[in-house]
Amino acid sequence: MRACATTGVVAAWNRTLKKTSHSFSAASSSCALLGPNRPDVWVLRENTFPYNHFQESLQCANGHNAAILEGKSIAKQIKFKVADEISRIKSCMGKFPRLGVVLVGDRRDSHTFIHIKLKACDQVGIETVVAQLPEKCTENELLGAVSRFNDDPDLHGIIVQLPLPQHLDEEKVINVVSPEKDVDGFHPLNMGNLAIRGRKPFFIPCAPKGCIELLLRHGVEITGKRAVIIGRSKIAGLPTSLLLQRHHATVSMLHAYTKNPEQITSEADIVVADVGFPNMVRGNWLKQGAVVIDMGANQVKDPSSQGFCVTGDVCFEEAVKVASAITPVPGGIGPITISMLLSNTLDSAKHAFGMV
């Protein structure tokens, strides 16, 4: 077994929280009631989980390996279905979905993600329009680009690749995206409609939607199960918690201020990791037979080469011996997330075409 590498003891999770223009509850009392804005800084208590102890505890396990909740083939099926539907729409109506992509700056990871998304769109017949802005663009230039996409009646979806450079107000930009074209599902109106049972958001964020898709397709029962979400990003952890609640799981949200994440996680039937820190969730955090969804995609140095490899938030080699089912990284949630973006864009186009 390969030991799980943790690249440090403290992982700073630096999602800077900014002001939003959708606000006037600026009275100090309201601010206090909304709670202090604090970054999530995960402190890994390595002493709590000495490796030898873990190896011992593994010997008590039943020796079976978990089923692998493989995402690639499901993503392929979804992409095939989307492509087929687009092809039929094109034949019948001469129309097709179009996605607007806003990309700011030169971050290598952002360019990689956009490249993957553009390629996937191309494969299924979604036309893409990219607004590429320089790292030092002004907020007005960025808002202008989003507004032009909003105003284009032949454009059905808009994504703004995150994170944005520090000088740009991410929440303000998301506010400007039309909720009806917000195929990432990050607009607060969509998030609110996801949170309130019985309501339907225009779009569900792609990674959480992919997570549920994966669970449902693999026949994992959700209703009545205890689910633990480790991490609370607006992209993954938060909307996944809301979605699992809508499926009637009993959901606990863990974060960097949780005092005993290992103990709470060990009670869960379904564990979703969204911490952004490689291998943080160890095998002995898990209940025997838990279903593990790893939403992490961390670039770490590959000890076997000079390059980098992608690893999840869960120590796969340990978890696979305890869980009943687990998503791999790469090849788990990632591909499904992309297919959900395609599916959301198609849904939006169908609405624009008067088909739903």
Select the span of 23-31, 142-150, 283-291, 318-326 touching a copy of itself (CB under 8 A).
23-31
- Residue written as token pair 């930009």: 173
CA 320, chain centre distance (Å): 21
Nearer CB in complex with a copy of itself: 23/112: 23
Q: Among 40, 79, 117, 274, which one carries the catalytic annotation?
A: 117
302 is catalytic: no
Contacting a copy of itself (CB under 8 A), which of 184, 294, 313, 347?
A: 347
Binders of a copy of itself in range 231-260 (CB under 8 A): 232, 234, 238, 242-243, 245-248, 250-255, 257-259
Residue 161 annotated as catalytic: yes
Q: Which of 79, 161, 294, 313 is catalytic?
A: 161
Q: Which is nearer to a copy of itself, 201 or 320 (CB)?
A: 201
User: What's at 304, amino acid-wise?
Assistant: S
- Are 18 and 170 in contact by the 8 Å Cβ rule? The answer is yes
* Residues making up the chain, counted from first to last: 356
Minimum separation from the CB atom of position 236 to a copy of itself (A) = 13
The answer to whether 104 and 113 are in contact (CB under 8 A) is no
Contact between residue 284 and residue 57 where contact means Cβ atoms under 8 Å apart = yes
CB of 26 to a copy of itself, least distance (A): 5
Give the span between the Cα atoms of 284 and 75, in whole angstroms: 30
CB 286 within 8 A of CB 320: no
Contact 203, 182 (CB under 8 A): yes
In which residue are the tokens 């009670």 written? Answer: 267
Among 8, 10, 27, 108, binds a copy of itself (CB under 8 A): 27
291-294 and 325-326 as β-strands: parallel, antiparallel, unpaired? parallel
Amino acid at 158: I
Q: How many other C-beta atoms can be found within 10 angstroms of the C-beta atom of residue 106?
A: 11
Sign of the dihedral defined by the CA atoms of residues 294, 296, 302, 308, in that order: positive
Enumerate residues 6+ apart whose C-beta is below 8 A from 95: 89, 349, 353
Q: What is the DSSP letter of 351?
A: H
Out of 40, 169, 182, 184, pick the active-site residue.
Answer: 184
Q: Which of 264, 300, 309, 310 binds a copy of itself (CB under 8 A)?
A: 264
Binding pattern for the stretch 283-302 against a copy of itself, x by CB under 8 A and - elsewhere: --------------------
Min dist. Cβ of residue 299 to a copy of itself (A): 25
Stretch that binds a copy of itself, among 131-139, 149-157, 199-207, 322-330 (CB under 8 A): 199-207
Map the footprint of a copy of itself across residues 31-60, applying CB under 8 A: 31-38
> Are β-strands 127-133 and 298-301 bridged in parallel, bridged antiparallel, or unpaired?
unpaired
10 near a copy of itself (CB under 8 A): no
Nearest to 233 by CA among 265, 260, 211: 211
> Which residue among 30, 65, 123, 288 contacts a copy of itself (CB under 8 A)?
30
Would you say 4 or 191 has its CB closer to a copy of itself?
Answer: 191
Give the interface segment with a copy of itself, choosing from 49-57, 136-144, 210-218, 328-336 (CB under 8 A).
210-218
Contact stretch for a copy of itself (CB under 8 A) within 132-140, 154-162, 278-286, 348-356 = 348-356
Burial class (CB within 10 angstroms; exposed 0-12, middle 13-18, buried 19+) of 217 = middle
What residues from 215 to 234 belong to the interface with a copy of itself (CB under 8 A)?
216, 222-224, 226, 232, 234
Binding to a copy of itself (CB under 8 A) within 167-196 occurs at 171, 180, 187-196
- Which positions are annotated as active-site residues? 117, 161, 184
